[in-house]
Structure formats: C-alpha cells, structure tokens
Amino acid sequence: MSHIFLPKTLEAVMDPIGGVVDAGHPMRAVVKGAAFGDGSWNGVRAKKVADLFDSMALEWKDRENEGCSIVMDSFDRIQFTTGRVLEVGCGTGEVLEVLKGYFDEAIGIDISNAMLRNSNYPQADQANCDGAHLPFPSASFDAVVIVNSLLFPSEVDRVLKVGGTCFFVSTKGAGTPIYLSPYDVRRVLGVKYQAFTSASGNGIWTALHKSA
C-alpha cells in the first residue's frame, strides 16, 4: 500500500486506513491528555504509568514486537535514516536495536525503570526519564521514533532538528491501547510538519518531517 499525504487542514477523527478510533480503552484519556496538553499529565499520573509498565516488564521482554517491521517499513519508504535518533518509550529495547542498524547513534528513554532493567539489549544507550521532560539539549536529534508510546509534542519538537523526522507507530492501528490517529499526531505537532501515513501489517506508521 502506498503512503497517504495528510494535508494541513484535515480535521477528521477517522483512522485514515479505515478504522474508527475506539475511545473506550482506559489509556486513551492519558494519551489525549499528554498529546493535547490539557494539564492532566503530572507527577502523580507519570508515577501511575511508570508503575503500570513496571508491573509488565518481565513478560514484556518475551513478547513478539511488531513495531520492528513497521518501523523498518516506514524507513524504507520515507528513506530518511541518518545521524542521531531518539526512541521515546523504548521498553525492553527491540526497536532500539533495529534503530542502531539505520542511524549513526541511537538512544532510548523509558519512564519504566523495570523495562530498562529487563532489556533484551542491556548494552544499549538507554535512560530512565519522563518523555514530558527529556534530558537532552534542543535540536539534538535528527529523528524521533515513538512506538505505542505517549507523544509529548512540545518536547519532540524541541529536541528534533529542523529537517528531522518524527516517526509515530501504532502496531495494531486504531486497536492499539496507546493510540493517537495520524490526524491527531499531525494536528498536535503543528503546521511546520509535513506528514505521510501508511498501513503496514496490522499497524499504521506516520512520518512527520519538520520543515521549520
């Protein structure tokens, strides 16, 4: 399937691949609050999310990670993989290991310390921190990759260089628990981003190129 260009003016709430966004999952309010900056993301909520993923870390490392193939599909078709990349929400490191094969330097962060401690790739460059407060200088990455994780648009925009690309992946499309539609991702990052999206396997990727 060829990728779809998302015009700047789209206001649809449908998934562009054809699925309706399901707002019933308990994480959806957290996802929307983080992305749209409604003030609901704070230290208390961050601790709850960290505790949730800490509790899943042991089983998480043995899961099959669909994100790897979808990320590779987006890279192959957008053909932007150079320089330094940050993965926000790297979990136990499967996608981060893939990124190391495409970029000169790959760094991962996760809010769950247990996820990092149980990484399948303990030698990877990883840090335990909140994606809303990234410990990196402004304009320090050529790409930011987010797979099934929360999007904090102001921080992504801050650390991403002009000319860089944000890759946002939902491995089960609109059925992904932590999900934003490509339209919402495009909306919260703003008019300086040119966006393309496509189905890939059971999921969706969106690539957003920062032009200014």
Map out the domains of the chain as residue ranges.
4-210
Query: Which residue type is seen at 161?
Result: K
What does the alpha-carbon distance between residue 134 and residue 210 come to, in Å, rounded to a whole number?
19
pLDDT tens digit string along 149-189? 999 999 999 999 999 999 999 999 988 989 999 999 999 99
Asked if pLDDT for residue 87 goes beyond 60, the answer is yes
Are the C-beta atoms of residues 56 and 110 closer than 8 Å to each other? Answer: no
Asked if pLDDT for residue 70 goes beyond 90, the answer is yes
Q: How far is CA 126 from CA 7, 52, 96, in A?
A: 35, 19, 9
- For the segment 178-206, the average pLDDT, to the nearest whole number, is 93
Q: Which two tokens stand for residue 38?
A: 């409604």
Report yes or no on whether pTM surpasses 0.85: yes
Asked if pLDDT for residue 16 goes beyond 60, the answer is no
Burial 28-42 (b: 16+ CB within 10 A, else e): bebbbbbbeeeeebe
Q: Which two tokens stand for residue 8?
A: 């700047």
Residue 191 burial by CB count (10 A; 0-12/13-18/19+): exposed, middle or buried? exposed
pLDDT tens digit string along 28-58? 899 999 999 999 999 999 999 999 999 999 8
Q: Which two tokens stand for residue 87?
A: 């993965």
CB count within 10 Å of CB 104 equals 11
pLDDT exceeding 90 applies to what percent of the chain? 70
E-only strand ranges, 46-159: 84-88, 105-110, 125-128, 141-147
What is the per-residue pLDDT for 22? Answer: 55
Which is more confident, 64 or 40? 40
Q: Which CATH number fits domain 4-210: 2.60.40.10, 3.90.1150.10, 3.90.950.10, 3.40.50.150?
A: 3.40.50.150
Instruction: Name the residue among 188, 140, 191, 192 with its Cα closest to residue 168.
Output: 188
